[in-house]
Amino acid sequence: MKKTVPYITGDGVGVEITPSMQAIVNAAVKKAYGSEHEIEWIEVLAGERAFNETGSWLPDETMEAFKKYGVGIKGPLTTPVGGGIRSLNVALRQTLDLYVCLRPVRWFSGVVSPVKEPQKVDMHIFRENTEDIYAGIEWEQGTPEAQKFYAFLRDEMGVTKVRFPETSSFGVKPVSKEGTQRLVRAAIEYALQHGLPSVTLVHKGNIMKFTEGGFKRWGYEVAETEFKDQTFTMNEYDRLKKELGEESAKAAVAKAINDGKVVVKDCIADAFLQNTLLIPEEYSVIATLNLNGDYVSDQLAAMVGGIGIAPGANINYKSGHAIFEATHGTAPNIAGKNVVNPCSLLLSSVMMLEYMGWKEAAQLIVNALEKAFSKGKATHDLARFMPNGHALGTNEFGQEIISLL
């Protein structure tokens, strides 16, 4: 089976990490399947290179390729400064309605971590990708638009709590029931498919009652209406505790866990960030809005060694469209120096292979990375912290991984 995969090389370090990733993936697919499976890579353009060659930061042909072939992968992109597109990554996600930003975070043996027990970190973050601040609407301080918006708040809505109205900028973030529930639905289905024990709704509903609080409420609602026989919610726990007492509630959740049900719970965002350091083993699948997800995914990545080994994907589970990506930037300060760590994009390619159902090839790459790290073989960003660290260049690290497949 030949699978066509459009790819964006990316700007800056993308020129180095993308060919390295492709060489490793090709070798893993060949070892796992021989001539039975093959990837046909088709390059499409976006970012600075696209602008220089075509005059467009995001050519229509690129979007058409991702729509046609369903699955693609991309390196980091330069976002244009000034007007126009706020972010190329956001534009890709919103055009294809890739409403889930999936970030699995786990520790690899041999990688030095700033926490004592990084092996306890094994989480799968479902970050909402199309609403919240990604769909945010802003008016800058001192503009007629800001003054008009404040006048509307004051005169039409009776708002009196803007402390410094004359010098305030304003922002509005939309959070919908539909957007929330399709995200939480995907998170619960993922937990069920992968045999994971819980889904945690992370929010700031204690402060923002109707957006963040709505996310919590609507998330529980989809669990209790669509997955009633497969989940146990902490809403249900609270009801049992009130009606029958704490011991009965504890017994019910214990039975649900024993029966293999997914426990759906929630946590205030700031408390959750603390808990990831103190009790990370209590969390598995995380569903959260866009801004909270940004904080959560970066903190968890740091806990297992850094964003250099943090993969990511943007997925629409309804249409099947998915774009896998490096989660770091273009890093122009190290571009062209053969020192960049390709593991973020490489692990994103592992996610892509798993999404395609080519799990044997994906596992070969994971196993090779574990072997390399256990021997202290890594790029400089990771090797410098390893007791037996041996820093390899980007190209050399890629060849090392291929040799260990």
Number of domains in the chain: 3
- Look at residues 270, 303, 336 and tell me which one is the last residue of a structural domain: 303
162 and 59: one domain? no
Domain C-terminal end among 303, 323, 346: 303
Give the H or E element holding residue 198: strand 198-203
Mean of per-residue pLDDT scores for the chain: 95
Residue entry with tokens 């026989």: 229
Q: What is the pLDDT of residue 86?
A: 60
Rounded CA-CA distance 348/355 in Å is 10
Any domain includes 47: yes
* One domain, residues 214 and 166: no
For residues 162-168, give the mean pLDDT. Answer: 96
Q: For 352-399, write each residue's pLDDT tens digit.
A: 999 999 999 999 999 999 999 999 999 999 999 999 999 999 999 999
Q: Which residue has the tokens 């970066």?
A: 298
Among 303, 335, 354, the domain-final residue is: 303
Burial class (CB in 10 A: 0-12, 13-18, 19+), 115: middle
Which residue among the candidates 30, 69, 120, 270 is catalytic per the annotation?
A: 270
pLDDT tens figures, 278-302: 999 999 999 999 999 999 999 999 9
Residue holding tokens 């009790």?
279
Contacts of residue 388, defined as CB under 8 A and 6 or more positions apart, other chains included, come to: 375, 376
- 7 lies in a domain? yes
165 and 190 inside one domain: no
- Cα end-to-end distance, the chain, whole Å: 21
In CATH, what number is assigned to the domain containing residue 212?
Answer: 3.40.718.10
What pLDDT was estimated at residue 85? 59
User: Do 80 and 19 fall within a single domain?
Assistant: yes
Containing structural domain, residue 32: 1-104+310-405
Q: Is the pLDDT of residue 340 over 60?
A: yes
**In terms of domains, do 202 and 314 share one?**
no
Mean pLDDT to the nearest integer, 176-192? 98
- Catalytic status, residue 134: yes
Phi-psi region at 261: left, alpha or beta (left = phi > 0; alpha = psi -120 to 50): beta
Q: What is the pLDDT of residue 87?
A: 78
Mean pLDDT calculated for residue range 11-24: 97
- 155 catalytic residue (yes or no): no
The yes-or-no answer on residue 298 being catalytic is no
Instruction: Please give the pLDDT value at position 304.
Output: 96
Catalytic site residue from 237, 294, 317, 355: 294
Residues 280, 188: one domain? Answer: yes
In a domain, 388, yes or no: yes
Q: Which of 3, 74, 173, 204 is catalytic?
A: 204
Question: Are residues 118 and 100 part of one domain?
Answer: no
Tally Cβ neighbours within 10 Å of residue 235: 18
What does the pLDDT read at residue 91? 85
Check whether residue 192 and residue 289 sit in a common domain.
yes
Tell me the average pLDDT across 174-180.
97
Is residue 245 located within the same domain as residue 119? Answer: yes
Which tens digit of pLDDT belongs to each residue from 82-128?
555 567 888 888 889 999 999 999 999 999 999 999 999 999 999 99
Residue 60 neighbours by CB distance under 10 Å: 9
Q: Is 204 a catalytic residue?
A: yes
Model pTM score:
0.95
Residues 121, 36: one domain? no
Q: Please state, in angstroms and rounded to a whole number, the distance separating the CA atoms of residues 40 and 63.
A: 18
**Does 299 lie in the same domain as 315?**
no
- Average pLDDT, stretch 160-183? 96
Q: What is the pLDDT of residue 88?
A: 84
pLDDT band at 221; cut points 50, 70, 90: very high
d(CA 328, CA 298) in angstroms, rounded, equals 10
Confidence (pLDDT) at 307: 87
- pLDDT value, residue 81: 62
Question: What is the tens place of the pLDDT at every residue in 225-265?
Answer: 999 999 999 999 999 999 999 999 999 999 999 999 999 99
- Residues 372 and 240 grouped into a single domain: no
Q: Assess if residue 373 is contained within a domain.
A: yes
Is 109 among the domain residues? no
Question: Looking at residue 321, what is its pLDDT?
Answer: 97
For residue range 62-88, what is the model confidence (pLDDT) as tens digits? 999 999 999 999 999 987 665 555 678
